[in-house]
Structure 1
Amino acid sequence: RVPANKKISLTFWTVVGANRGELDEAIARLDHQESFARQAMLAWTRSQVQTRHLGLSLTDAANVQQLARYLIYPDPFLRLPAESIASGLGRQSSLWPTSISGDFPIFLVRIGDVA
């Protein structure tokens, strides 16, 4: 219960692990008031290191994130009509000679104007 005119801070974690021991270890590591701020700082630092390692500018990284969001949250308005997909696709096994299994969705970007 939160008394009237009082503020509280609540942090909700979703923790995933391969087994119960791994979960317990993660929970023990995160079960401190300052854990969220530290994890947020570590995530920011890691993203900066990865961006620099890949040789991306902040603008490039933002553009990659904009495109990558379609892999996580597909936009049905950008998808070809079902009949176009069906007519243009062969069997999954036809991808195998190109070292593509076809087990996962394929994200294709067609660039019409290089400029």
Structure 2
Amino acid sequence: PANKKISLTFWTAVGANRAELEEAIARLDHPEAFARQAMLAWTRSQVQTRHLGLSLADAANVQNLARYLIYPDPFLRLPAESIASGLGRQSGLWPTSISGDFPIFL
């Protein structure tokens, strides 16, 4: 509407089956749902931070580093030649109990 403010929230919901999905939709289908879910997410993060014994500074550092897992920075990537020269067989990781099936973040 002209000269009016509106609020629009998009959700992504999943369920193991249709019944679970419909239950999630019903739980999220009211104006207060976003505020409640945001509060629950914040509370859960505080519990996890305390459980791991992290300070607020530690938690901020973890978040800062974790962003590179989701949004890799191309400026931090090694040149292709360096990567190729360091490649070995996946089985070379097995003696160190690393399967090599998933990326490793150091």
Q: Same fold (TM over 0.5)?
A: yes
1:21 Cα deviation (Å)?
A: 1.8
1:5 Cα deviation (Å)?
A: 1.7
TM-score by length of 2: 0.92
More helix by share: 2
Q: For residues 15 and 102 of structure 2, what CA distance do their matches in structure 1 show?
A: 23
Larger CA deviation: 58-67 vs 97-106 = 97-106
Q: For residues 5 and 18 of structure 2, what CA distance do their matches in structure 1 show?
A: 34
Structure 2 gaps, min length 5:
none
1:46-105 deviations in Å (ceiling 9; x for gaps): 001101111111111000111111111111111111111111221011112222111111
RMSD, matched Cα? 1.2
TM-score by length of 1: 0.85
Q: For residues 76 and 8 of structure 1, what CA distance do their matches in structure 2 show?
A: 38
Larger CA deviation: 93-102 vs 45-54 = 93-102
1:18 Cα deviation (Å)?
A: 2.4
- Deviating 4+ runs (over 3 angstroms): none
Larger CA deviation: 44-53 vs 97-106 = 97-106
Structure 1 gaps, min length 5:
109-115
Paired residues in the alignment total 106
Percent of aligned pairs with the same residue?
92
Q: For residues 17 and 92 of structure 2, what CA distance do their matches in structure 1 show?
A: 38
Larger CA deviation: 65-74 vs 8-17 = 8-17
